[in-house]
Chains A and B, each alone.
Chain A
Amino acid sequence: MIRNPFLRRIAPQLIILGIVLGLNVLVFPDFFHVEMKNGRLFGNLIDVLNRGAPTALLCVGMTLVIATKGIDLSVGAVMAIAGATAASLVVDGNHWTVAVIGALSVGALCGMWNGFLVAFLRIQPIVATLVLMVAGRGIAQLITEGTILTFLDPGLIHLGAGTVKGVPTPVLIWLTLGLFVAYFVRRTALGMLIEAIGINEASSRLAGINSRVLLVCVYVVSGIGAAIAGIIVAADIQGADANNAGLWLELDAILAVVIGGNSLLGGRFSIVASLLGAMIIQSVNSLILLSGMPPEFNLIIKALLIIAILVIQSPKVAHLLYILRASAPQSHPKQLPPFKESKR
């Protein structure tokens, strides 16, 4: 057995990721081949890391929000708003750093709005964030005036389509942010406080945790993550597409958190496992594209793979595996504990 508790926590995700990547190699033997082309790393594995960036960025904040027993449905729409903000700022002649700061502020503001509704007005998170999910795309369309707002600013484009020493910038951005937040919440008491709110908010408040401020904070982190994802997606295509940027991506982010083994009922969480979940989803997408199957099969393949992943992770199956292992006579000859019913 694995001794290190951290490795044990993310072991299922690592194994599933390995299996899905293995399937990729089956349909496309050169999958792991990476080469330098035109000054950038070029290969399917790089694509998985690069294309998984928006989901990975969203699932960092989403993991924290879900750990507080919340959910953030607005992240896809916030991506569209942030992308539109950044694009319109550079189109108006501002420096790209101004555009990035503007977009991040808008993302933080959106998060603050969600946090306010949840923490102070006590609206259920799924409803509170639904408001911005519906309205957000309309706000983004107002900013872009309904068109795809294109820009040619090299600084902004670099964030989505550029490379640093051959590595695509989005990969560096999500790795940095994801690992920083993961490290930060575990090296301070913050992670534990967030878990406490998710397990029982009332008692955590009685224990002296300022739950309202913390709740607002996790939604702000989620909003900022969404804003970064929105900037990357817009920069990637050199235009802000208010209708399609981040469409349905909130669901992918929630799925990544779930594949990461985090409970939607809040409590214990692992950001690294969620990030692995995002990479698993992207590997499934890559598998679909490389398989060369007609597009009518896309959603069916994706659904079958995801149901398989979730079934493997489900508590019942985990329990069955445990029983099987425990009842194997040669390794553990000890008796099973008696059923609860027999005590009556």
Chain B
Amino acid sequence: MSIKSILLASAVALSPFAASAQDMTIGFSQIGSESGWRAAETTVTRQQAEERGITLKFADAQQKQENQISALRSFIAQGVDAILIAPVVATGWDGVLEEAQDADIPVILMDRMVDASEDLYLTAVTSDLVHEGEVAGQWLVDTQAGEDCRIVELQGTTGSSPAIDRKKGFENAIAGHDNLEIVRSQTGDFTRSQGKVVMESFLKAEGGENICALYAHNDDMAVGAIQAIKEAGLNPGDDIKIVAIDGVPDAHLAIANGEMNATIELTPNMAGPALDALMAYKTDGTVPPKWIQTESRLYTAADDNQAIYEEKKGLGY
């Protein structure tokens, strides 16, 4: 991404075309406000567009595909320069994507994929859920450095793709390390309260002193589990190491307080890479790859989590 932005910066400096980016208008069709993360994604998308001097037309679909399709049609009718869309479902997009293609408007998918021909969109910017799990597992492999560790796992909602993929990634990373063993694994439904309830039963079933680490599929469950560990008279982050995924503000706060060890960020900044790719495409015709993977960054106590917490708190999580 950084090479791309340097190229872009030089393109902006050298090319007379660059002026066109200044008065670009793009449409953004967001799913709706289903979670704090989605609210943060909307905020960041607006910020990213503003930084680049792009006019952003925003449409909230309220979790309905028909709203997204009509938003896309209205964007096409207004003749926007490009469309960003976070598709609510995977199927049923071919028709409206063809209309956009006929109108020569590039479409970029954000955060989720669609079941449509790759020719119908410019690129998709998403995170790799399996990779997120691998980063979490690798962190534990590195931290334990061969020492024995009994791990408990809080899974996401049974059958959901983040739960399946984040579990798979973590298992990939610890495979072959015989010192690491998942001893209990149960769903916490991605919620704080279930995370707390299930962790309580883990602590009793295994005995708190026999658990060395907790891997939670999202930060909310980890935050709930931290409270359960504290109530059992143990020190979270110290007696039991905690790694989770998402990078929500409360997780950064927990790391800053020494109650959690690591979180892997699911960045709400999908728009940054998307807009970079779009401007490169508009200015000098660089065709981006069909999939741009966002960075799954690992945050540990080494980072200034207090500052990150303050910064992220304002994003609407």
- What is the distance, in angstroms, from B210's C-beta to the closest C-beta of chain A? 13
Q: Do most interface residues of chain B lie in helix, strand or loop, or is the interface mixed?
A: helix
Q: Are A290 and B205 in contact (CB under 8 A)?
A: yes
Q: Are B187 and A298 in contact (CB under 8 A)?
A: yes
Q: Which residues of B contact A238 (CB under 8 A)?
A: 227
Q: Which residues of B contact A241 (CB under 8 A)?
A: 191-193
Report the Cα distance A210→B220, complex, angstroms. Answer: 48
Q: Which of B193, B201, B224, B227 contacts A245 (CB 8 A)?
A: B193
| B190 nearest CB neighbor, chain A only | A244
Q: Do most interface residues of chain A lie in helix, strand or loop, or is the interface mixed?
A: mixed
Q: Are B200 and A244 in contact (CB under 8 A)?
A: no
Q: Which of B185, B197, B317 contacts A51 (CB 8 A)?
A: B197
Report the Cα distance A264→B226, complex, angstroms. Answer: 41
Number of A-B contacts (CB under 8 A): 79
CB-contacts of B147-189 with A (<8 A): 155, 158-159, 184-187, 189
Report the Cα distance A233→B224, complex, angstroms. Answer: 12
Q: Are A295 and B200 in contact (CB under 8 A)?
A: no
Residue A22 at the chain B interface, CB threshold 8 Å: no
Q: Which of B36, B193, B204, B317 contacts A47 (CB 8 A)?
A: B204
Q: Which residues of B contact A292 (CB under 8 A)?
A: 184, 186, 205
CB-contacts of A217-275 with B (<8 A): 233, 236-239, 241, 243-245
Q: Are B205 and A295 in contact (CB under 8 A)?
A: no
Q: Which residues of B contact A120 (CB under 8 A)?
A: none
| B32 nearest CB neighbor, chain A only | A146
Q: Are A38 and B231 in contact (CB under 8 A)?
A: yes
CB-contacts of B33-87 with A (<8 A): 33, 35-36, 39
Q: Which of A30, A286, A290, A295 contacts B187 (CB 8 A)?
A: A295
Q: Are B204 and A43 in contact (CB under 8 A)?
A: yes
Q: Are A161 and B198 in contact (CB under 8 A)?
A: no
* Interface bracket on A: 20 to 34
Residue A208 at the chain B interface, CB threshold 8 Å: no
B residues near A (Cβ < 8 Å) are 33, 35-36, 39, 155, 158-159, 184-187, 189, 191-194, 196-198, 200-201, 204-205, 220, 223-224, 227, 231-233, 250, 316-317
- What are 15 A-B contacts defined by CB distance under 8 Å? A30-B204, A42-B232, A47-B200, A47-B204, A146-B33, A146-B39, A146-B316, A150-B250, A233-B193, A237-B224, A241-B192, A289-B201, A292-B186, A295-B187, A296-B159
A residues near B (Cβ < 8 Å) are 28, 30, 37-38, 40, 42-44, 47, 51, 146-148, 150, 161, 233, 236-239, 241, 243-245, 286, 289-290, 292, 294-296, 298
The 4 A-B pairs of least Cβ separation, nearest first, read A38-B233, A295-B187, A289-B201, A237-B192
